[in-house]
Amino acid sequence: MVTVLFWNIDDRTEVLPHLSCLATKHGVDIFFLTECPADNSVGLVELNGLDIGSYHETFSGVSKVRALTRLGDDRFRHRFTGTARDLTVWSLRAERGVVGAEILLGAVHLPSRFGGVSDADQAVAAHEVVAELDLVEDRAGHRNTALVGDFNMNPYDHGMTSTTGFQGQMTRQLAGQPDRVYRGQDRRRFYNPMWGLFGDRTEGPPGSHYWDSSVSHNPHWHLLDQLLLRKELMNQLAELRILTEDGIHSLVDARGIPNRERFSDHLPILFRLDV
């Protein structure tokens, strides 16, 4: 079992010591962090004081997502960073349950709508990231791929669902179908299990990000942080959660929304792969 946690920590150094709380509570093997302070040494010092492994930062080029792990280089290593730095892919050696020994574990931090970025701009970015990821898969010769990150889109947004984007399907049945042929090209599907975590009739918070604004169209809760799986890995997903506490401290305020004053405006997502 491999446990992965993704968190946009909003450039806050004071969040880094809480990684050790998360590691203790959940046995995290790999932390993917975005909007991470340049100096993350305080986080590593706290992690390595736990005596549950030797955590270190793996090479990722100049990626927008950084990886801290207790896995050795023989099991987890950098494979690819995209030209825009918003996609990075690592190679994870599987020990069971997967055809072939390798998993492609990717992480993204895509453009936000703040600052004038439009839906169309996000769809273009999604298309370009998908093209890069397809190339990585082709070079690897398999599609044992998991992709996690801050997509800055909700599961229903165009870039997430479009045939020319991530084509993130809400059910295993849809995601398990053959590639869709569109404009003469095979378009690869993802399974997006995050659909099942949206709203208040699910275990956990209604989303991963809360936007408190009086604009006319605002769902307030958003699922910007997501996990996508190719059909080859769908059955290896053992657990998926949006976390509201680190094992000791609450990450949400009295209203139940992300406590940006102490932590981040995003909540971490944790998943386990039975590999």
Ordered structural domains, the chain, with CATH: 2-273 (3.60.10.10)
Average pLDDT over residues 71-76: 96
**pLDDT tens readout for residues 169-201:** 999 999 999 999 999 999 999 999 999 999 988
Contact 236, 273 (CB under 8 A): yes
H-helix segments, 14-118: 18-26, 41-48
Contact 269, 32 (CB under 8 A): no
pLDDT more than 90, % of the chain: 89
The answer to whether 229 touches 169, Cβ cutoff 8 Å, is no
Packing angle, helices 18-26 and 41-48, rounded to 10: 40
Interval 137-151 mean pLDDT: 98
For residue 208, how many other CB atoms are within 10 A of its CB? 27
Please check the confidence at residue 50 and state whether its pLDDT lies above 90.
yes
Band of the pLDDT at 16, cuts 50, 70, 90?
very high
When pLDDT is cut at 50, 70 and 90, the band that residue 96 belongs to is: confident
* Lookup result for tokens 């604009």: 215
Cβ distance 9 to 264 under 8 Å? Answer: yes
**pLDDT for res 115:** 75
DSSP letter (8 states) at residue 273 = E
CA 7 vs CA 73, 127, 194, 226: distances in Å: 22, 23, 15, 10
Per-residue DSSP letter, 266: B
Max CA distance (Å), the chain: 55
The dihedral sign for the CA sequence 209, 3, 204, 14? negative
